[in-house]
Structure 1
Amino acid sequence: MIPKSKIDEILEAARIEEVIGEFITLKKSGRSFKGLSPFSNERTPSFMVSPDKQIYKDFSSGKGGNVVSFIMELEHFSYPEALKWLANKYQVEIEEVELSSEQKEAESERESLYIVTRFAEEFFQNQLTETDEGKSIGLSYFKERGFTQETIKKFRVGYSPDSWNEFYDTAIKQGYKKEFLIKAGLIKESSKAEDQYYDGYKGRVIFPIHNLSGRPIGFGGRILVEDKKAPKYLNSPQSIIYDKSAVLYGLYFAKGEIIKKDFCYLVEGYTDVISFSQKGIENVVASSGTALTVAQIRLIKRYTSNITVLYDGDAAGIRASFRGIDMILEEGMNVKMVSFPEGEDPDSFSRKNDLEELEAYLSKNAFDFIVSKARILLGEAGNDPIKKASLVKEIVSSIALIPEAISRSVYIKECSSLLDIEEKVLINELNKIRRIRLNQQERNKSRLIDEERNEGEESAVEFKEIPEKLYDDVSVQERDILRIILSYADKTIRILADDGNELEVEVAPFMVHELIRDEMLFEDETCLKVLNLIIEYVDGENPILMGDFINNEDNEISKLAVDLLSSKYDLHEWWGERKILVEGEELKLKRAVEGSLYSYKSKRISKMIHENQEKLKEIDAEEKEEEVFEILRTQQMLDKIKASLSKPSGRIILS
């Protein structure tokens, strides 16, 4: 349990724009920052970060919150885990409590996997640097590759002893459960004997794989002896903390440099990343353990739209890269290629050259992918017309993947010159390919709609569709009042008192008084929670601070506060729907306050009138005459109240 005082200290130290800036590229947009959502695949940025309010709002997915909820959402952390992560970043000391065996067992599967993976990383590191076997075998391997002590420490590489059960025995003695050790791929059950287990990475050097916040989530293990029965590399199995198709090796260490330089080198192996980093080129990641996936490409796109793919100089390596690069193009990114001399890879080449030579080579040999692909295929085709026709289709097929029409046009012009083919011919082929793809997408979309419709029909007995709230719903007005109070609580407006004199009043006490006087507290449960909290502040004459609502321990209050304070508009969307002209809130705050209160009261009265009329319809007038008269009296009273509601002077009605 983290004390409230420590939570406040962490939240005071943390800057949301700094934290989120570690995970996505943010660009200044007025007083806020804007970027591509890390929670959805969007092409136009709609992810907003407000340093003033210390909140974020993702308009593409609907997610929003403070710095803690962002870390929780992105990294699937618990609340205490997110606070500890922030405390570590901002050097706020909090007391760490050692977990007992009972607590370890009670932890969730996700947290248990994090715990055993962290233990394994420390075990492998210790074996590498503190044991004779680790030093003579594992450390020798890394030193032969030129890795320094600092590099070994930075990437947390390790060694798993060539023993059947040394890791297993150590883990069990320290209270870790077999169930989670198996799920993490750290131990395996023997097929020869029941309830017998052996170490999953025995006799291998270990490359830990980290998530974006630096926690180990999996491992890559390389065998050091020739063994035809064993794979050269062994990777962690899929788990709830490790999805190999959505992870990039080295991204935790590289993301800062990728943002700074606005481009990323993409390589194949662990040692490629480590060698480049040691040399001084740190904006490099690897897709090791899997062919490049769309999820990995989108991960890079959070930080930059520019990728340079590095690959071995052999023809097979070049050809193998084509499919992955086509996927990058389809995501609307800019791609360059660099090939190394035959027999070299990024790791070996970087070890043979100093930083200046390496950077010069990368700069000189980085060519645009489309142009490079055209030249490579043209060389392969020679004078064969059939091969040349085939390569034209292949190149145009890649160009067709590019989302932007201008970019496609530029590439068509360049390839027309390079291939000595008329632009018109290439454009016709391009349009044909794009038409086929668009038709296929439409068919897929129709199929999905049909499937969803069928599923809906099958489950119609069990579920009823809940209609979305309309703009006219009372809760919309409730939220609008809360938004004005939270945004302008201590601002003042001038009102006309009963005696005809003007009074200067603060927004929050005035609006609260209006609601209490007319006995119109809110109907929506969460809105009422927030209003009651505001009333407590007003009664206690305490200042209403946005942070107290945004960082509230009640998740419903926190989420509502973020939603209210991260509106895209100056005033409520529904005013525009009713053709009501809205002027800037801070200039016309009095009008906003009066308009919001009037709309809410008017809507509540209209709702009460409607409910009263419905009661009248249901009653037998002859049998319950007295009850009918009571309902009619109520109706008259409600009609009078509605008539007495004067429209605020600040409202401008458009005809």
Structure 2
Amino acid sequence: MISKTTIDKVYETARVEEVIGEFVQLKKSGSNFKGLSPFSDERSPSFMVSPVKQIWKDFSSGKGGNVVAFLMEHEHFTYPEAIKYLAKKYNIEIEETLQTDEEKEKTNERESMYLVSDYAQKYFSEILWEREQGKAIGLSYFKERGFTDDTIKKFDLGYCLDQWDGFTKTALGKGYQLDFLEKTGLTIVKEDPGNPDNKKTFDRFKGRVLFPIHSMSGRVLGFGGRILTSDKKAAKYVNSPESDIYHKSKVLYGIYLAKQAIAKEDNCFLVEGYTDVIQLHQRGIHNVVASSGTALTSDQIRLVNRLTNNITVLFDGDAAGLRASLRGIDLILEQGMNVKVCTFPAGDDPDSFAKNNEYEDVVEYLQNNSKDFIQFKASLLVSEAANDPIKRADTVRDIVHSISKIPDRIKKEIYIQECAQIMNISEAVLFNTLAQIGKKDTADSQKMAKQQQQSFNVVKNEPQQQKLDVQYELERKIIEILLLYGTLEEEFEDLVLKENEKGDLELEPESLGAKVFQKIFLDLQDDEIELANEGFRNIYYKLIEEMNGKENFSITSFMAGLDQGLASEISSILMEEEKYTLHQWERKEIFPKEKKVGVSQLVSETILTLRCYLIKKRIGSLQENTMNNMAENTETLEEIMNYIQLNVLLNKKLNRVFS
């Protein structure tokens, strides 16, 4: 287990905006940062990070918390993994205590798969550098490709011995379970039909050089293996199969090493293969990733969209099926991103071009030859159409169809104007075609929705307005006040119930100086009020204990001691007010009042409102008892009248009319 000293140091040192900034492109928004949600598909920022409070909140998915919670949500880290990741990032030495057998058993299946994958990467790298076969075959291949020692080590490249089960036997000997070797796809297991207990094992990547595939945080998810022999029966490339930790449609090769450069350059170069990424990176172009030979997917595009809104797709000079690859461009446009395309001279691909040219030449070529998608698509399709009017009409329709994918109306109009000039056709015709495509898409969507409705035989219910849970909202407000202002010293106007000269009850104000948390605690204790919501109740008592026991209260250290559920709830409460900054009210000349103004009044009104609500609830309960038990009517009615009188006084204090 990681020592508490290490955990405390990690929380004190780690900066939430720095850590999240490696995964999400953040832009300054007042005292906070905002960006696109990494947990949902969106085009308008709803993800907020508060450097002051050291928390984050994603308003689209409802998730939130501290820096550790983000890593656990985004990277699926366990709590210890998140702490270790941050310790490594900030060069903090990790002090650990010995784990018990019971704690070891708690390691979940996903973690076991990560551990197996990490071991495999280290094993394959060791084979490449230490074994004769690895050096003679694997290392020689990488050197022939022009990769330096530093590059090979940076990308964790490796080699699997040309043996049927060399890796599997070694892994089993180290204590790794066959079940996880099979689930990660590193080992292929086949049962003997005649004897089910007799299982044969084979290394999936036997005799192949290996390209580990990392997550955005650097964890090994899977491998790509290239065969070096001319065996026609064997596939040139073999990838790890889909597993709980590896989904190829959601991963981009090189994203771990490219993420910071992508955000810094505000552009991402997208290539097809592993060696394209490595060669460009070695040449100094670091903002490059690959779809790893798979067709580009929406999930992969969203991965880039968190870091930048600009993608430049790099195609081989003589790439087969170039026209089919244009589908990927339409997918990028659908995400509202800006797309450019760059092709290399005939006979070259990103790998060979980067290998044979200096950094300055590569940069200059990419700058001068990156075309806007519409220019590229038009020139490609026009050359195919030649002088055939039918093909030319299809080409125009194809380009307009791509433009229809763009969500931004202004961009659409600009591209239509550009297309009209390139294709020498009137804008009116193109706008008309665009409208027809839009109508067709809408009709298709409505038709599909209707079919789904019929197939599910949906029974429509009258929409019911959700009832506001007053007590929940008031208790949430109490927690918010404690978190924001709990340790502030304020002057409060306390209300004392006294009889006047006529014998009537009146609430007389008395001045009281106290800290906000003390005032709230004493008021709730005097009225014997306990928060009904279990989550709020737990947070409340922890806050009171922390504020009462420590001279300097810190939200960051307080949240570090909570489980992730409570930490997430607190971040939601604290960031609620930040949600409204997403609307940029200042630009509309609307200036909301600062909450900090009138803290004592806010506290008093919240407690009074909760009292009134609970009194009203009690009156209702007593009235119900009266109807059920007529014998005790007089006593109960007297109690009801006392509560009504008190409620009138409280509402009067709140300047409310009580009926």
The TM-score normalised by the length of structure 1 is 0.91
Give the letter aligned to residue 485 of structure 1. L
1:357 paired with 2:361, answer yes
Q: 2:575 aligns with which of 555, 559, 566?
A: 566
1:271 matched to which residue of 2? 275
Distance 2:214 2:523 in 1: 54
2:499 matched to which residue of 1? none
> Residue deviations 1:460-483, cap 9 Å, x none?
9xxxx9999743420110110110
1:473 matched to which residue of 2? 470
1:332 matched to which residue of 2? 336
Distance 1:44 1:606 in 2: 42
Q: 1:259 aligns with which of 240, 251, 263?
A: 263
Contact (CA 8 Å) 1:267, 1:286: kept in 2 or not?
Answer: yes
2:252 matched to which residue of 1? 248
Contact (CA 8 Å) 2:612, 2:651: kept in 1 or not?
Answer: no
Q: 2:620 aligns with which of 610, 622, 631?
A: 610
In structure 2, the residue corresponding to 1:316 is in which secondary structure? coil
In structure 1, the residue corresponding to 2:320 is in which secondary structure? helix
Q: 2:421 aligns with which of 404, 417, 426?
A: 417
1:140 matched to which residue of 2? 140
Structure 1 stretch 63-72 or stretch 74-83: which is displaced more? 74-83
In structure 2, the residue corresponding to 1:76 is in which secondary structure? coil
1:232 paired with 2:236, answer yes
Contact (CA 8 Å) 1:127, 1:160: kept in 2 or not?
Answer: yes
1:534 matched to which residue of 2? 543
1:577 matched to which residue of 2? none
Give the letter aligned to residue 131 of structure 2. T
Contact (CA 8 Å) 1:537, 1:543: kept in 2 or not?
Answer: no
> Residue deviations 1:133-153, cap 9 Å, x none?
000000000000110000001
Distance 2:549 2:217 in 1: 41
2:588 matched to which residue of 1? none
Q: 1:392 aligns with which of 372, 375, 396?
A: 396
Distance 2:250 2:231 in 1: 30
1:638 paired with 2:643, answer yes
Distance 1:395 1:500 in 2: 74
1:486 matched to which residue of 2? 483
Distance 2:480 2:44 in 1: 27
Task: Specify whether residues 452 and 35 from structure 1 end up closer, same or farther in structure 2 by C-alpha distance, changes over 3 A only.
Answer: farther
The higher-RCO structure (CA 8 Å, 6+ apart) is 2
1:629 paired with 2:639, answer no
1:574 matched to which residue of 2? none
Q: Offset of 1:530 from its aligned partner?
A: 1.9
Q: Offset of 1:449 from its aligned partner?
A: 5.6
Distance 1:310 1:114 in 2: 32
Give the letter aligned to residue 481 of structure 1. I
> Residue deviations 1:231-290, cap 9 Å, x none?
100000101110000000000000000000000000000000000000000000000141
1:202 matched to which residue of 2? 206
Report sequence identity in percent. 46
Distance 2:435 2:369 in 1: 32
Distance 2:259 2:19 in 1: 12
In structure 2, the residue corresponding to 1:117 is in which secondary structure? helix
Structure 1 stretch 606-615 or stretch 323-332: which is displaced more? 606-615
Q: 1:316 aligns with which of 301, 314, 320?
A: 320
Structure 1 stretch 111-120 or stretch 602-611: which is displaced more? 602-611
1:130 matched to which residue of 2? 130
Give the letter aligned to residue 298 of structure 1. R
Distance 1:583 1:326 in 2: 45
1:367 matched to which residue of 2? 371
Where in structure 1 are there 5+ consecutive unaligned residues? 572-580
Distance 2:280 2:112 in 1: 34
Contact (CA 8 Å) 1:598, 1:647: kept in 2 or not?
Answer: no
Q: Offset of 1:599 from its aligned partner?
A: 1.7
1:591 paired with 2:588, answer no
Distance 1:447 1:31 in 2: 49
Distance 1:496 1:175 in 2: 68
CA RMSD in angstroms comes to: 2.6
Distance 1:260 1:74 in 2: 21
Contact (CA 8 Å) 1:124, 1:159: kept in 2 or not?
Answer: yes
Contact (CA 8 Å) 2:39, 2:61: kept in 1 or not?
Answer: yes
Q: Offset of 1:95 from its aligned partner?
A: 3.6
Task: Specify whether residues 466 and 18 from structure 1 end up closer, same or farther in structure 2 by C-alpha distance, changes over 3 A only.
Answer: farther
